[in-house]
Amino acid sequence: MGQLKTLQALCLILSLLLLTTTTTTADDSDVMSKLAESLKNAPKDWSTGKTYCYWEGIKCVENRVTSINLASKSLSGSLPSNLNSLTQLTTLSLQSNSLSGLFPSLANLSFLQEIYLDTNNFTSIPSGCFQGLSSLQVLSMSQNINLDPWVFPIELTQASSLVTLAAGNANLYGSLPDIFDSFPNLQNLRLSYNNFSGFLPKSFSGSGIQNLWLNNQQFGLSGTIEVLSNMTQLNQVWLHKNQFTGPIPDISKCKTLFDLQLRDNLLTGIVPATLMSSTAIQNVSLDNNKLQGPQPVFGSNVRATFEGTNSFCLTKPGPCDPQVNTLLEVAGALGYPILLAGSWEGNNACDRWSFIVCDTQGKVITVNFENKHFTGIISPAFANLTSLKNLVLKNNNLTGSMPASLLTLQQLQLLDVSNNNLFGEIPKFPDTVKLITTGNVLIGTTPSSGGGGGGTPSGSGSNGTTPNGTPAPASGGSSVSPGMIAGIVIAVVIFFVVVLFVSIKCYASKKHGKFGRVDNPMNGIEIAKSDVMSSANGYNGVQSDLHSQSSGDLHVFEGGNVAISIHVLRDVTNNFSEDNILGRGGFGVVYKGELHDGTKIAVKRMESVAVGTKGLNEFQAEIAVLTKVRHRHLVALLGYCINGNERLLVYEYMPQGTLTQHLFDWREIGVPPLTWKQRVTIALDVARGVEYLHSLAQQSFIHRDLKPSNILLGDDMRAKVADFGLVKNAPDGKYSVETRLAGTFGYLAPEYAATGRVTTKVDVYAFGVVLMELMSGRKALDDTMPDERSHLVSWFRRVLVNKENIPKAIDQTLDPDEETMGSIYKVAELAGHCTAREPYQRPDMGHAVNILGPLVEHWKPTTNEEEENSGIDLHMSLPQALQRWQANEGTSRMFDDLSYSQTQSSIPSKPSGFADSFDSMDCR
Ligand SMILES: *[C@@H]1O[C@H](CO)[C@@H](O)[C@H](O)[C@H]1NC(C)=O
Ligand SMILES: *[C@@H]1O[C@H](CO)[C@@H](O)[C@H](O)[C@H]1NC(C)=O
Ligand SMILES: *[C@@H]1O[C@H](CO)[C@@H](O)[C@H](O)[C@H]1NC(C)=O
Ligand SMILES: *[C@@H]1O[C@H](CO)[C@@H](O)[C@H](O)[C@H]1NC(C)=O
Ligand SMILES: *[C@@H]1O[C@H](CO)[C@@H](O)[C@H](O)[C@H]1NC(C)=O
Ligand SMILES: *[C@@H]1O[C@H](CO)[C@@H](O)[C@H](O)[C@H]1NC(C)=O
Ligand SMILES: *[C@@H]1O[C@H](CO)[C@@H](O)[C@H](O)[C@H]1NC(C)=O
């Protein structure tokens, strides 16, 4: 501790020295006198001969201007073009004046955090004026109505700390560029009253935006608003007065959305039940769209309006006519085209609805969508139009397969689906039906086979039909309802808590020459400016390989982990290029990269998070543990990076990709299907990896989401369990770095859903599901299957009731001989055992290893896996293991005040403040 204090003092002295050197040469008097000249009505003391640092509204540090605050001072005149030579400026507040002329160039003001220039009279924006604003958090420049039309400044992507961007009523036009993944901290986006056109950018998906104001665009934004469903942090959404089309998406993941303004658009479809039942929603306007179906009903505490041009079936709440419902479902499968919404009004489908012909009994006999440019799929709900004789869908852009439910239409005479993009099997219609399928290149094939049909085995069948070609029930709709899909996906949770994060950056601050602790006057939070954080301590020596290559890319801190600078990660991932994406998970996107020495890495860029000191300490503590967990079947964590509020984890790269790809997408990636031998070997590897984690974890300390996309395959097709996290099991939620309560329905044990408690038995269950996938070649959840088959566990457990069913249920690519079949029966039994309903009925992971081991040994002699482990005694608890590491190091401070017990659920955070995270590396 004492040594640290000394180091810290040295840093301070060093930085003060640097600062003095710079201030003898730099001075802001030149630009400040220009500013005084060009402003009209500047405050009186600006002309009294006082030094500029004492002028009203000016703040300095060491003679350099850091802040200009002259809001609402009736200023007019203009700003000098060299304003950006105030290189130490952090705040510029000149809002509510009458400044005119060119907007000031702020380029390269790398300390500038806040810009307020709203409500002025600027006339144009110089190009490149927002480049290099690497610390910028707030850009607020709304109400500059005399600006020449300008487009969204792409160079703002360099402002990766941006929290607020407000430029309403500022004459912006053109499209919103797809760059919002550059702003992981963006919370407020206010661009109302401009002239934007085009679509909502894809990169809104997964963003942390809370307040989205894009209303009242002159030309109008268009396309669907589907992306809202993925913007889980939303509070306020103002999209009124645009040209948006398509249905209102399922917003059930937007748990804090209270204000949704969608009026005056061209939205269609049925108001989703998830909106009406949302407990957060308080204000909704849906007026003047083309919404369909029953009138929505909101709770009495919700202010909701939906008057105007909407096409609800009735003028009061209540269900629509069944035939109307069916046709709406048909329209839904086509994305609710505006063309249909325009004419399909009222509650009688036979009353002048376009493209519909009825008989005298009021039954639909013809549906003719010829040449309508429709996309989407053919709804199985057509089967509910029981009198249908003619169904003409030719010359559209329909995809998917022909639903087998159409076979139930007894009256059908003509079915013309020519010139679309349909694929899959053609149901076997009776001779009475005139069937035209020409002009569908892929029809008769499964989408990925590319063959001419016939010879290609299809393990999972095609949409609407079961694998053996029997018709699916005509209940209809299950494959098209987005609500269903959303309903079964359980929210993935990351909790990085708090907002406060301080860092002291010394050696890295060649730019700044002083401590990077900056008060943010707006909200009082302190913002980190550090790229490379020093690390928590506790080094156990397993990373000597990295030590040796720490030259340019890595900073291996003496006591601890490997911190990798964001610059290096940007560099090696080609600036997080789309082309480098290896996969996307609930916690972020994973990119491929190659360090300068040729080491391939996988970089997980975690989703935007707010970070507090405590959160940061815990994160580092977590890293300290995870980098130590080494096992042949666990992907190694090589290092990490903290950049502002962004966290990145760097893992070992697995060249063969995920098990998912090899199991379900093998045709697409051009590899042969996995053999049974490979599958059992993979299962054993995974079982060993998880068993190891369990041995460390005792109960529920380390958890992973066991599904095939988290199982990675190395060069030799050995499986590794991709990543793992420490999990909160404290009911008070105290441990908050990252909760891995994630999982996809289909892998989650039933008791998990009810209790949310992560136990080893939850892992065992998920492992059982993975075994079932390995056997059947089918996904845990396959909503293209009929209901009774879509949930793999339920279906497979029914299969298991009778051993004779198993051969029919296994992946058809396996084509097992008798001996292999024997092995399959054993794995099938294990899978059933692992997925037992009651947790206590499930075996532990060791049992799985014992069952699978001999099956693999059957092919090849075992290697002694345990010898390849990290040298940690498998029977040691994690706390014991940590203490062992600490003892080995002799130097660790990290766990000094650590009193582990099994009741203490979290990794204790580092004892005290930042001094601890300093080490000698920092002062270089
Ligand atoms: C803004 O500038 C225009 C000329 O560019 C001028 O006519 C107008 O009066 C100015 N408005 C204000 C509020 O200063
Ligand atoms: C800002 O810095 C970049 C890179 O250092 C340089 O290319 C650019 O000319 C600078 N812009 C201004 C306006 O000084
Ligand atoms: C708004 O943008 C559209 C399309 O970009 C353009 O055609 C139109 O002229 C703009 N309107 C105004 C008033 O600038
Ligand atoms: C929503 O997120 C999921 C998962 O990241 C993605 O597959 C999907 O395309 C996103 N949807 C939209 C509309 O952005
Ligand atoms: C279609 O018919 C089935 C069986 O009668 C019924 O359960 C389902 O609700 C109907 N679907 C629609 C959209 O009317
Ligand atoms: C048909 O749809 C596909 C993808 O859905 C699209 O790429 C293609 O451009 C569309 N073709 C037409 C003529 O609309
Ligand atoms: C089923 O339909 C969906 C959506 O149209 C499509 O993505 C999927 O590939 C289809 N599956 C099969 C096996 O045809």
Angle at 658 between CA 657 and CA 664, to 5 degrees: 120
C-beta 195 within 6 A of ligand 3: yes
Test site for ligand 6: of 374, 393, 421, most ligand atoms within 8 A of the Cβ: 421
Instruction: Determine the residue type at 905.
Output: S
Amino acid identity, position 377: I
**Does residue 705 have an active-site annotation?**
yes
Is 604 among the annotated ligand-binding positions?
yes
Closest by CA position to 737, among listed 587, 917, 606, 614: 614
Give the closest residue to 518 by CA, choosing from 501, 499, 497. 501
Spatial separation of the C-alpha atoms in residues 79 and 765, rounded to whole Å: 66
Which of 264, 531, 685, 705 does the annotation list as catalytic? 705
- 785 with 752: CB under 8 angstroms? no
User: For atom 6 of ligand 2, which residue has the closest CA?
Assistant: 108
CA 90 to ligand 1 centroid distance, Å: 29
Residue 727 above 70 pLDDT? Answer: no
Lowest mean pLDDT among 349-353, 384-388, 707-711: 707-711
Measured by CA distance, the residue closest to atom 12 of ligand 4 is 227
- Position 846 pLDDT exceeds 50: yes
Distance 333 CA to ligand 7 centre (A): 13
Going along the chain from its start, the domains and CATH numbers come out as 338-443 (3.80.10.10), 529-653 (3.30.200.20), 655-859+891-924 (1.10.510.10)
Q: Tell me what pLDDT residue 550 has.
A: 34
**pTM > 0.75:** no
Q: Residue 639 has what pLDDT?
A: 82
Task: Give residue 144's pLDDT band: very low, low, confident or very high (50, 70, 90).
Answer: very high
361-382 confidence digits (pLDDT tens): 999 999 999 999 999 999 999 9
Among all bound ligands, the one having the nearest atom to the CA of 588 is: 4
Give me the chain's average pLDDT, please.
Answer: 76
Query: Mean per-residue pLDDT for 184-194?
Result: 95
Main-chain phi, psi angles of 641, to 5 degrees? -150, 135
Q: Is the CB of 6 under 6 A from ligand 6?
A: no
pLDDT in tens, 529-562: 222 222 222 222 223 233 333 334 444 443 345 7
Give ligand 1 pocket residues (Cβ under 6 A).
Answer: 98, 100, 121, 123, 146
> In the chain, what percentage of residues exceed pLDDT 70?
71
Is residue 394's pLDDT more than 70? Answer: yes
From 375, 393, 422, mutation site for ligand 6 pocket: most ligand atoms within 8 A of C-beta: 375
Q: Which of 784, 785, 790 to mutate to test the pocket of ligand 7 (most atoms within 8 A of CB)?
A: 784
CA 758 to centroid of ligand 7, rounded, Å: 33
Q: With beta carbons less than 8 A apart as the criterion, state whether 365 and 411 touch.
A: yes
Q: What token pair was written down for 731?
A: 């009911």
Q: Which atom of ligand 2 is nearest to the CA of 108?
A: 1
Find the ligand nearest to 226 CA: 4
Q: Enumerate residues lining ligand 7, CB below 6 A.
A: 377, 399-401, 424, 446-447, 462-463, 784
Taking residues 777-785, report their average pLDDT: 84
Q: Of 261, 260, 223, which is closest to residue 243 (Cα–Cα)? A: 223
Dig out the tokens for 11 from the structure. Answer: 């840093």
pLDDT at 607: 60
Ligand 5 atom 12 nearest Cα = 326
Residue 443 · residue 423 · CB < 8 Å: yes
Give helix 845-857 / helix 818-834 axis angle, nearest 10°.
170
Give per-residue pLDDT as tens, 585-616.
656 788 999 887 778 899 988 765 544 555 56
pLDDT at 697: 60
